[in-house]
Amino acid sequence: MQIIESQKSYDVIIVGSGAGGGMATKVLADAGLKVAVVEAGPFFDPADEKTRTQLKWPYESPRRGAGTQRDFGEFDMAYGGWEIEGEPYNQIGDSKFDWFRSIMLGGRTNHWGRISLRFGPKDFKGKDKDGLGDNWPIGYEDVKPYYDKVDKLIGVFGSNEKRENDPDGFFLPAPKPRLHELYYIKGAKKSNVDVIPSRLSILTKRINNERGVCFYCRQCNRSCSVYADFSSGSCLIFPAQKNGGQVDLYVNSMVSEVTIDDNGKATGVNYINKEDRKQYSLKAKVVILAASACSSARILLNSKSEKFPNGLGNSSGLIGKYLHDSTGTDRMFFIPEMMHRKRYNEDGVGGLHVYSPWWLDNKKLDFPRGYHIEVWGGMGMPGYSTGFNPNYLNKYLGEKVGGYGNGLREDVKKFYGSVMGVSGRGESIAMKDNYCEIDPTTVDEWGIPVLRFNYHWTDHERKQARHMHDTFEEICHNMGGIVLGDKPTKEQDYGLLNPGRIIHEVGTTRMGSDPKTSVVNEFEQLHDVKNVFVVDAGPFVSQADKNPTWTILALAWRTSDYIIEELKKQNL
């Protein structure tokens, strides 16, 4: 197939338009650079009426919101899912890594939980704490100025709590807790589990005249049409364009490889246009990968040449290695005191109003690293599955389960809003043996070799999950609640979800000072190729018990500043 070369050339090509790609676009376009954003999925604007699902009712859909088309329900704003037709991935042996992709402008930022946590000082130096994994080559003090700037640019609500490892920031005011959250606070405090206002990138207060303020519909996962939550398109890419930035969007354009010249310097990318299935090439001075940790690793590993036979930037052999996701396990509680609730609108923001940051000292525990607890529940909008097993909870009240007739109406109304849940989300240890690599036996429908995964949890994570369930049960008991379902056993890995399930996969192009033991330097620049950068979660040395997005954004900004300086010095 002949490669069609674009006549245009750019200062920077950015592959992917999620959190990292969006931030790089904003900072570099604002600095006057000519930017091409190459996105594998379609254009998406949360304000577009044609694609809007926000404020739609379940009966506006023939399947009432069921998740048969989109994994998190058909109103969820992620085009993609755990499995994507025509774009497979494989496993090695009995590995079970689940890979979630959202292939659209803005990527996963269109539907995510908006939980926006800074890493703390200890999170950058995990090895100092317990000898496991590696330290980052940078510390909190290097990233803090960027976290501050991200807070102010994008907006995040929360509260300054003066906690050592959950740093303060520039927060918007928090929404008041809902009823089940007040129950949770009471139960958690009895067990000395800390609870503080959650930290979500949702505008509870105006931050500029371009974006709206949250009107409390609890549907951030549908992407906000007034831009009151953070999505990469609405908060970074469109503002960069409106600011007069030279930003060309190439959508439905799937990058297959980074191209290089005879000196081993990157010259641009090749991509497949999904509409005409032809291959194109784009040229630029700098290439930034932001396709997601695994997709960026895939592009680098597929960029083979005589000079780089193992893939671009892979002299260490570490691209794809040290893949790690957050640990996670969940439990549901039935709170009998919350039966027969008075009705009122308690939608609130799209997610939790309170959470428990990690509160313990590992020296007294049989596992390393911590976890936080997320809380969910309330009188939410009915959707597909509302009314399933309508009176199952009767068994805890000594009443009969099952039947038919109008008593079922009363059962559904009686129990509405009386079940809540908690989710533990923790830090796993990055392991060289957990990795993704190119599967030479399989290509996707665009002819590009796909990834295969090898990932196994260790006892570190299993013991952490066991501790989560012990904690959940104690808190539930304190709340006067009944824990639903049996406690997961050792054979069930204590309920630990498959790796990948928490959708915090990081670590595949790890950062470090030594080119032998890392892929990028502290500015997310490939050790081997000076004009290629990775600004998604690939460079994370460790994951922390925090969600990765705020750190992706802060580091992408820091890297973009570095790129601007290096271009000025003509070093790239």
Partner 1 sequence: MDRRESFKTMLLGSLGAGLALQSCVENTPPEVVEEAIWKYTYGRTPKEQEFDEKLLCEEFFEEDELQQIETLANLILPPTEAGSIADANVVPFIEFMAKDVPEFQTKIKGGLVWLDIYCNAKYQLTFRSCTEEQQKQVLDMIAWPDPEAKEHPHEVAFFSLMRNLVLTGYFTSEVGIKELGYKGNTPNNWDGVPQDVLDDHGLSYDPEWLAKCVDPNTRGEIAQWDEEGNLIS
Q: Which of residues 72-111 bind partner 1 (CB under 8 A)?
A: 74-75, 79
199 binds partner 1 (CB under 8 A): no
By CB under 8 A, how many residues form the interface with partner 1?
93
SS3 of residue 366 by DSSP: coil
SS3 of residue 37 by DSSP: strand
CB of 321 to partner 1, least distance (A): 35
CA distance linking residue 217 with residue 214, whole number of Å: 8
386 binds partner 1 (CB under 8 A): yes
CB of 362 to partner 1, least distance (A): 28
Pick 2 or 406: Cβ nearer partner 1: 406
482 binds partner 1 (CB under 8 A): no
405 binds partner 1 (CB under 8 A): yes
* Interface with partner 1 in residues 29-68 (CB under 8 A): 42, 48, 50-53, 55-66, 68
350 binds partner 1 (CB under 8 A): no
In terms of DSSP bridges, do strands 4-15 and 279-289 run parallel, antiparallel, or are they unpaired? parallel
* Interface with partner 1 in residues 298-317 (CB under 8 A): none
Residue 161 tokens, joined? 């709590």
Residue 275 tokens, joined? 């509409």
Q: Could you give the angle at the alpha carbon of 439 between the alpha carbons of 300 and 278, nearest 5°? A: 65
Q: In this chain, which stretch among 152-160, 283-291, 448-456, 517-525 interacts with partner 1, using CB under 8 A?
A: 152-160
Q: What is each CA distance from 238 to 25, 269, 292, in whole angstroms? A: 10, 23, 20
Q: Which residue(s) pair with 384 in the sheet?
A: none
Pick 206 or 304: Cβ nearer partner 1: 206
CB-based contact 471:373 (threshold 8 Å): yes
* Element of type H or E holding 34: strand 34-38
CA distance linking residue 273 with residue 275, whole number of Å: 5
Residues contacting residue 228 through CB under 8 Å, at least 6 positions apart: 202, 203, 211, 212, 213, 214, 215
245 binds partner 1 (CB under 8 A): no
178 binds partner 1 (CB under 8 A): yes
Dihedral sign for Cα 223, 228, 229, 232, please: positive
Q: In this chain, which stretch among 240-248, 379-387, 431-439, 489-497 interacts with partner 1, using CB under 8 A?
A: 379-387
DSSP 464-478: HHHHHHHHHHHHHHH
Among 122, 149, 186, 487, contact with partner 1 (rule: CB under 8 A): 186
182 binds partner 1 (CB under 8 A): yes
CA distance linking residue 319 with residue 539, whole number of Å: 10
Pick 209 or 441: Cβ nearer partner 1: 209
Among 3, 4, 83, 152, contact with partner 1 (rule: CB under 8 A): 152
Q: Which residue(s) pair with 435 in the sheet?
A: 321, 454
187 binds partner 1 (CB under 8 A): no
Residues contacting residue 306 through CB under 8 Å, at least 6 positions apart: none
336 binds partner 1 (CB under 8 A): no
349 binds partner 1 (CB under 8 A): yes
Pick 72 or 392: Cβ nearer partner 1: 392
DSSP state of 166: B
CB of 42 to partner 1, least distance (A): 7
Phi-psi region of 499 (alpha: psi -120 to 50; beta: other; left: phi over 0): beta
Pick 89 or 183: Cβ nearer partner 1: 183
Among 264, 336, 382, 488, contact with partner 1 (rule: CB under 8 A): 382
Pick 57 or 127: Cβ nearer partner 1: 57
CB of 342 to partner 1, least distance (A): 5
364 binds partner 1 (CB under 8 A): no
192 binds partner 1 (CB under 8 A): no
Among 402, 514, 568, 571, contact with partner 1 (rule: CB under 8 A): 402
Q: Could you give the angle at the alpha carbon of 36 between the alpha carbons of 293 and 449, nearest 5°? A: 40
Residue 510 tokens, joined? 């790890």
CB-based contact 270:3 (threshold 8 Å): yes
8 binds partner 1 (CB under 8 A): no
489 binds partner 1 (CB under 8 A): no
DSSP 235-260: IIIHHHHHTT-EEEEE-SEEEEEEEE
The site map against partner 1 for 157-176 (x = CB under 8 A) is x-xx-------xxxxxxxxx
CB of 207 to partner 1, least distance (A): 5
CA distance linking residue 334 with residue 422, whole number of Å: 12
137 binds partner 1 (CB under 8 A): no
CB of 398 to partner 1, least distance (A): 12
* Interface with partner 1 in residues 409-438 (CB under 8 A): 409, 412-413, 416
